[in-house]
Amino acid sequence: MQIADQTVASFHYTLTDDNGQVIDSSQGREPLTYLHGTGQIVPGLEKAMVGRVAGDQFKVQVAPGEGYGEHHPELMQELPREAFQGVEDIQPGMQFQGHGPQGVINVTVTKVDGEKVHIDGNHPLAGQTLHFDIEVTDVREASAEELAHGHVHGEGGHHH
């Protein structure tokens, strides 16, 4: 069976950056399982999965626009330390949720300079080309319940 809309696909992956450094991998874990056509993986990878079958192994490069988006400098801000009430020790790498014009936004502290805290609302992989090494392990029809709920149930998926 080929991967297409309304199928459930499972795959192992290794994600690297332009320098070949591993960013994430499913090695040593269960394969990633998703409902194809519902935007559960980055668009460029989802497009590359179409027509693949169990046993296929391939590499794909995903440009920022088809991955986690371009890097937007306007999402980088400097805030006063007092904006982080209740947090005594603010360190680079800490993540917080804030409210932006489009709703909730996740931000990462990039630098603490005295009473100034620098944050970045971009996804950590924004602006980067993603290099995937993929092995498709299984493809099956999605159940009516999975289609109605918009996600995979059972092994490798959501359990109610």
Residues 93-118: pLDDT tens digits? 999 987 777 788 899 999 999 999 99
Annotation: CATH topology of 7-68+126-149: Chitinase A; domain 3 (3.10.50)
On average, the pLDDT of the chain sits at 93
**Domain ranges for the chain:** 7-68+126-149, 73-120
Amino acid at 158: H
- CATH number of the domain located at residue range(s) 73-120 in this protein: 2.40.10.330
Q: How far apart are CA 45 and CA 82, in angstroms?
A: 41
Q: How far apart are CA 147 and CA 13, in angstroms?
A: 24
pLDDT in tens, 35-78: 999 999 999 999 999 999 999 999 999 999 999 999 999 999 99
Q: How confident is the model at residue 155 (pLDDT cuts 50, 70, 90)?
A: low
| H/E stretch holding 100 | strand 95-100
DSSP letter for each residue of 12-48: EEEEE-TT--EEEE-TTSPPEEEETTSSSS-HHHHHH
- From 86-90, 121-125, 152-156, the region with the lowest mean pLDDT: 152-156
Query: What's the rounded mean pLDDT across residues 22-44?
Result: 96
pLDDT, residue 157, reads 56
